[in-house]
Amino acid sequence: MSFEHKGRSLNKVAVIGSGQIGPDIALYFTKVLAPFGVQTVVVDVSEEALTKGRAKLEKKIAKGVETGAFKEAQQTQMLAAVDFTSDYEQVRGADFVLEAATEDRDLKRRIFAQIEDLVSSDAILASNSSHLEPEAIFEEAKHPERAAVIHYFFPAERNLIVEVVPGMATSPQVADWLMSFYEQIGKVPLAVNSRYGYALDPIFEGLFQACALIAESGLATSKQIDAVAQSALGMTVGSFTAMNLTGGNPITCVGLDNYTSKINKWFATPQSLKDRVASGEAWEVPARGEKVEVAPELREKLTRMLRGAYFGLCGEIIDAGLISVGDFNLGLQMALDMKPAFSFMNELGVKESLALVEEYAASQSHFPLPKCIKDQAASGQDFVIPNILRRDQGDVAVLTIRRPRVLNALDQSVFDELEDLFAAVEADPKIQAAVLTGFGKKAFVSGADVGFLAKIENQEQGEATAAGSQRVLNIIEDMSKPVICAMNGLAFGGGNELAMACTQRIAKKGLRVLAAQPEPNLGIIPGAGGSQRLPRIIGLEAAAELLRTGKPISSARALELGLISEEVEGDVVDRAIEIARNIAGGVVERPSILREPMTGLPESLPHTDIGHLSRKVDEIMCKAILAGAAMDLRSGIVHEAKCFGEVCATEDMRIGVQNFLQNGPRSKAEFKHQ
């Protein structure tokens, strides 16, 4: 067995370094790769580090079993697939080597010189550096074209973000493979151009510098600054607390001084940080649950200073061309666990945000005043932060919905982007077909944002909400160019409705859970055409059961019913591109959905055991299904919107939505059937 991806096979991976982060990286590798028979080897010259690293890994896996994250059989498999050794010879034959040693350029170079003699010339080499440019690390490498930096974030086994930083010599094929590989194993890779510190650490460390300078000035204590930072920037913990948790003082001390010459002269290591490194003392920070007193005037002043520093630092990264705004926003939110800067500036107003940066810059020598923020403020428009990525593969446009924090769930902004992107695809003479997919391996689209349902106050609003979603899906269905849905993972609710609006659907093979219309659990019915398209695709009886019970089906069952046309063993997007070209080129006939009224309809739907679900909602669901099936498709979809509005006037809709928001999707609502 091996892990096969995009023309490469992984049989063995090696992690060099069993210090703070190496065992966590190895833990993630063994979790995702052990089921494929891939061996993970952790190498370190220190037996003490190996012993501690193994103990750390075993403890975390055992904790995972306790919490239900891992099953005991999975624990056994993971532990059997990872080795800790001081023998570099065990690296021989590895297909992928990730160095996670101390942040020392010469040490890293020596490690890779040794590694290159043990692996094949096409094995991928990566460094988990936090600052060093790949050019500096791999300058003496025999094959720098297969090497890059992969920057993990604390804690590496749980923080999904990785910065993928190719060097000048890295081949585009290797860079693309790394991005795809990390997405496939469940991480969220961000493409970052090479510069010392990359995209995210200058924010983490630069914001810390801003906080340290405030503390050194005597304006506020480290405790007060951390407390204000949490509310001012949406941070889970403040900068001083984060530094204590990550043990980042020594690395940051070096990094900030190097930023002085490599980024700009504002950066410099504060004296207080140098003192802490020398003494080994932790920063004084708020205890868990401690309420820190900050006078209102001081809180306002600190808030303005911290936001000005944060926005200015982030704008400099964009001005430097290191990363896209969308990727950067995602990284700030997921890696650094704080309000993403560019959507935050949109929320506050870009002009007001610029004023905060100008105010902070006026008090700081050499602090950047980013052109991107000035230009955006002058335009009077918000920053554009895409949820859907478009990349053209020749004559096929591939659209990827990317909202990993919510498993690609739909909200109004996604519907708006879908409308704009498909209009652009339709008008583009170079494009003959499109593929629609989701980011990652868990979900195509996990459903629609439930939050907006809670805002629906009456029947009219409910009907209008459904009609708005339907309009966008009708546009996709009416495209003159074929649209193939590559279902990379589960499609629930609005996700399945979106898939059904496409010309054809294919799915990754072996998914135990692929599709469901779980709306009855929330006390609602589908509102984006699901009650009309599903019967026309898989037949009335099978569709009615799925729609009324909300039960999910596997990819195998979806194929059997005809919801999808194919289960794909390899890359589902590559196969979708092939199908799209075949349809566009007339090689195969274009599938079409029945648009006329369905025939041979029964007077009523057969009895279905709906368990605890609302009988009132089920009554409206049956009306939507059966009466809609007797109409042409477009009229049926309009009928569904009216039924959706009717459901929004029920008490059970309120009960179902509130139960979901308060207790989660697994909690059964106590419906009153009215």
Q: Give catalytic residue positions.
A: 497, 519
Sheet holding 82-85, edge to edge: 82-85, 39-43, 12-16, 96-99, 124-127, 147-152, 161-166, 188-191
Task: State how far Cα 367 lies from the chain centre.
Answer: 32
Measured on CA atoms in the order 213, 215, 220, 224, is the torsion positive or negative? positive
Query: Helix (H, G, I), strand (E, B), or coil: what is residue 669?
Result: coil
For residues 591 and 563, is the Cβ–Cβ distance under 8 A? no
Contacts of 271 (CB under 8 A, 6+ apart): 216
Cα→Cα distances 629→265, 519, 575, Å:
69, 19, 32
DSSP labels for 316-336?
A: HHHHTTSS-HHHHHHHHHHTS
For residues 200 and 331, is the Cβ–Cβ distance under 8 A? yes
For residues 515 and 488, is the Cβ–Cβ distance under 8 A? no
Tell me the two tokens of residue 28. 């993630």
Q: What is the CA radius of gyration of the chain?
A: 27
**Cα(233)–Cα(248) distance, integer angstroms:** 20
**Cα(488)–Cα(444) distance, integer angstroms:** 5
**Cα(148)–Cα(138) distance, integer angstroms:** 8
Angle between helices 615-629 and 651-663 (to 10 degrees): 110
**Cα(157)–Cα(380) distance, integer angstroms:** 41
Q: Amino acid letter at 375?
A: D
Listed in sequence order, the DSSP H helices in 407-506 are 412-427, 451-454, 459-477, 494-500
Q: Amino acid letter at 597?
A: P
For residues 493 and 406, is the Cβ–Cβ distance under 8 A? no
For residues 61 and 79, is the Cβ–Cβ distance under 8 A? yes
**Cα(456)–Cα(465) distance, integer angstroms:** 8
Beta strands in 208-301 (DSSP E): none
**Cα(460)–Cα(451) distance, integer angstroms:** 18
Q: How many CA atoms lie within 13 A of 96 on its CB side?
A: 26
Q: Amino acid letter at 660?
A: F
Query: Helix (H, G, I), strand (E, B), or coil: what is residue 129?
Result: coil
Nearest one of 493, 495, 399 to 444, comparing CA atoms:
495
Listed in sequence order, the DSSP H helices in 428-484 are 451-454, 459-477
Q: How many residues does the chain have?
A: 674
Query: Helix (H, G, I), strand (E, B), or coil: what is residue 670?
Result: coil
Tell me the two tokens of residue 243. 């530094």
